[in-house]
Amino acid sequence: MKIYIDGKFYDKENAKISVFDHGLLYGDGVFEGIRFYNGRVFRLEEHIARLFDSAKAICLDIGLSAGELTEALLQTIRLNDLRDGYVRLVVTRGDGDLGLNPANCPRATVVIIASKITLYPADKYENGLHVITCATRRIPHGALSPMVKSLNYLNNVLAKIEAQQAGAGEGLMLNEQGYVAECTGDNIFTVKNGRLFTPPISSGALAGVTRSAVFEIAAEMGIPMSEPEMTRYDIFTADECFLTGTAAEVIPAVQLDSRTIGNGTPGPITKRLIARFHELTATTGTVIYQ
């Protein structure tokens, strides 16, 4: 395995960054998780654009252009000779000292790891996930914009622990007002009376790349869709529910807090969206090997 750090490639054993890196000391940095399928990177431009937006929002100069970063990412996949897998792109504030001040970090650290991915077990795609509501709330806009895909994932990690301890596949996170934001690493959608719903960005949802792909598929299929503020009630009483994320793709959810959603099996619209999503991942995206 060859890992990119600041323009050079290292074997896994030697791929190390400083203990003075502010990504480690303060979670000061941003990241992306990107999938590639059948020799094509899915929605690469959108992921790169979101990374640059996240960096801009935290005053982080990546030190590379979008084009240069894209080329480095493709080169990392090629060097590892992969056609299907996952890329983790991490940009930290870089090496500094023990003080909080980012002015002491002269240069960002850029890490690119291309690897295989472990998915949810196949039966979850067939039978659906069980979800619980987490006591841990989504970070509020006033603390750190939930739009920023930052290295501060501690509240998501704590929510994930809650889900795991409850034996659930995913955890639902509400915002401070009690409206549904998203899950710990996935966006959430419902279907009711043939219409598609997902919480708005203002409720604390990440602008997921898979979420926007589902918007496009729904439009193509003529399924009406909207982004109202949502509560747990809307999920309890939905006909169908599913989650979206780069790792999970589109995965049915059939239970929330012991209430069965719909008839307790993945619904027909969910299944159609999953099928079309698979077509898109297999046939579109940035070609890796020219």
Candidates 133, 175, 203, 244; binder of ligand PXG (CB under 6 A) is 244
Strands 249-256 and 85-92: unpaired
Matching residue, tokens 């739009």: 147
Beta strand 2-5 with 8-11 is antiparallel
Q: Is 186 in the site for ligand PXG (CB under 6 A)?
A: yes
Tell me how many helices (H) and strands (E) the chain has.
Answer: 8, 16
199 belongs to the binding site for ligand PXG (CB under 6 A): no
Active-site annotation holder among 2, 12, 124, 149: 149
**Residue 150 touching ligand PXG (CB under 6 A):** no
Show Cβ contacts of residue 225 under 8 Å, excluding neighbours closer than 6 positions: 195, 196, 197, 198, 215, 218, 219
Name which of residues 86 to 145 contact ligand PXG (CB under 6 A).
Answer: none
Q: Which of 105, 206, 238, 269 binds ligand PXG (CB under 6 A)?
A: 206
Residue 28 near residue 21 (C-beta atoms within 8 A):
no
Site membership for ligand PXG, residue 245 (CB under 6 A): yes
- Shortest Å, Cβ 42 to ligand PXG: 10
Shortest distance in whole angstroms from residue 66 CB to ligand PXG: 17
SS3 97: coil
Determine if 148 is a binding residue for ligand PXG (CB under 6 A): no
Q: Does 169 bind ligand PXG (CB under 6 A)?
A: no
The angle, 0 to 180 degrees and rounded to 10, between the axes of the packed helices 44-57 and 66-79 is 130
Using CA atoms, how far apart are residues 174 and 17, in angstroms rounded to an integer?
A: 35
One symbol per residue from 5 to 34: x for binding ligand PXG (CB under 6 A), - otherwise; what is it?
A: ----------------------------x-
Applying CB under 6 A, which of residues 51, 211, 240, 281 lies at the interface with ligand PXG? 211
- Residue 24 to residue 86: CA distance in whole angstroms: 22
| Cα 198 from Cα 209, distance rounded (Å) | 14
Residue 100 or 157 having the CB closest to ligand PXG:
157
DSSP-H helix ranges across 80-187: 122-127, 154-165
Decide if residue 155 touches ligand PXG (CB under 6 A): no
Scanning 100-108, 202-210, 219-227, 228-236 for contacts with ligand PXG by CB under 6 A, the matching segment is: 202-210
Is 149 a catalytic site residue? Answer: yes
Evaluate whether 215 touches 233 at the Cβ level (below 8 Å): no
Q: Considering only residues 67-96, where is the footprint of ligand PXG by CB under 6 A?
A: none
- Point out the residues that are catalytic: 149
> Site residues (CB under 6 A) for ligand PXG?
33, 156, 182, 185-187, 206, 208-211, 244-247
